Every structure is written in structure tokens, then in C-alpha cells.
Amino acid sequence: MENVIRSIPSEAWEKLDTLLIVNDGSRDSTGELGRALSKEFTKIKVLDHPENRGYGEAQKTAFDWVLENGADSVVMLHSDGQYPPGYLLQMIAPLEASADVVGGSRTKHGDMREGGMSQARYWGTMILNRVENTIFGADLSSYHSGYKAYGRKALELIPYRGYSSTFNFDSEMLVGAIRAKLIIEEIPIPTIHGEGYSSLKPIPYGFSVLHTLWRYITKQI
């Protein structure tokens, strides 16, 4: 986490009002580290969960804070370094024009395998993307990037509080954006994959995405 925070460009720090760190019941001193860093980076604010609630719940906590505190937009930046902090301003820019949701697309940047993505994960991602575009009637290049930015309108219209607590939360947010007929844009980002960058298990995640598609078709979400 510290390396990610220290990699945020000075121009992005100037643009950001607050850097929220959601400590999801972590046992690795995330909260303590965040509070220590806040003495140096005064825009940091730490929000603590007393126990681990899951990936989606961490985002819900952040979104609730954004709405309660009158922020215009939010960008999700993972603490494991899988998404480059140097692209923060590019993620924000479309929101200042006409977009409601912005997704970082590794597919648009080039061959994801060159960034360390395995063959199985690459082809699984590409197949899921095609299936999702067919079902949603959309034309997005990436549904499974965690690098996302949302404008206030999106957070007000997407019923995110009823979504899952798992890694599937990002896909559900896109479903909500599509249902609300929001403007979704994508920017190219590099693929950073390899050991230590993600705890996501591809096969269970793939089945969870198919379950989300079924819930969309049956109008459960």
C-alpha cells in the first residue's frame, strides 16, 4: 500500500480532495500504516471495518462516505499495485466531460499476456467479455478491471448497497450503470499481473460472473 500511495503523481495529489483508505478488518496493520502515512500525506483518511467484510463492502463504505460528504466523484485504486497510480488523472478526465462511469481497460492497452496475465486467465477474460457484451447489448472492452471511477450521479442511481460483497461487485456496478443508461467510457491501462498482485481465484470468479449474468437476465439485479 505504501508504495502505491508514494507513486501517486503530485498533479494527482493536487486534484484529489481526499484519499480514502478502507481498512477492511485487515490483520496486516493496514489501518496503522494508513494513519502513519496521513501525517505525511494530510489528505489521507482511514475508514475501519472491525472485521473483514469483503471486497464489495469496502467499496460500499467508500461510496457511502463520498455521498455523505458531497464529493463529485471517486476513483477506486487497489492497494496491491495492480493498477498504476499514474493513470489517476486520466481516469478522472472523462467524468469532467460527459461520462458517468470510467473503466480502466487493459484490453485497449494491448495484449494482456505481455503484462504477465496467464493464457487461461486471458482467454477466460476475453470469452466472458464477449458473452457479457452480447447479453447486455453493450460494446465494452473490459468488464473485469477493478480500476473504476464513478461520478456522483452514478452512485446516486446505481443500487450498489444491494450488491455482493465479493470481487463480483465491479461487474454488478456495470450492470447497474447499464440498467440506468449511464454513459460509460474506458481508458487504456497497462496489465500488471503476477504473483502477489491479486487473491482473486479465476475459476470461482468466472462462475460468479455467469451467475451475475443469470441474475441480470432474470431481472434479479
pLDDT score of 47: 96
Q: Could you tell me which residues come within 8 angstroms of residue 130 by beta carbon, excluding any fewer than 6 positions away?
A: none
pLDDT score of 195: 54
Whether residue 80 is predicted with pLDDT greater than 90 in this model: the reply is no
Whether residue 219 is predicted with pLDDT greater than 90 in this model: the reply is no
The secondary structure of 25-65, three-state, reads CCCCCHHHHHHHHHCCCCCEEEEEECCCCCHHHHHHHHHHH
In this structure, the chain runs to a length of 221
Of all residues in the chain, the percent with pLDDT exceeding 70 is: 95
Mean pLDDT of 46-56: 94
Mean pLDDT of 55-69: 97
Domains parsed from the chain with CATH numbers = 2-217 (3.90.550.10)
pLDDT digits (tens, 9 = 90+) for 85-111: 999 999 999 999 999 999 999 888 888
Gap between the Cα atoms of 93 and 88, Å rounded: 9
Place of cell 469483503: 54
Which secondary structure element, helix H or strand E, spans residue 81, and what is its range?
none
pLDDT score of 118: 83
In the chain, the largest separation of any two C-alpha atoms, in whole Å, equals: 50
Gap between the Cα atoms of 174 and 41, Å rounded: 32
According to DSSP, the residues that pair with 21 across neighbouring strands are 46
pLDDT score of 198: 53
Whole-number mean pLDDT of the chain? 90
Q: Find, among 39, 48, 50, the residue nearest to 5 by Cα.
A: 39
pLDDT digits (tens, 9 = 90+) for 159-194: 999 999 988 899 899 999 999 999 999 999 998 875
Reported as a pLDDT band with limits 50, 70 and 90, residue 208 is confident
162: how many CB neighbours lie within 10 A of its CB?
Answer: 10
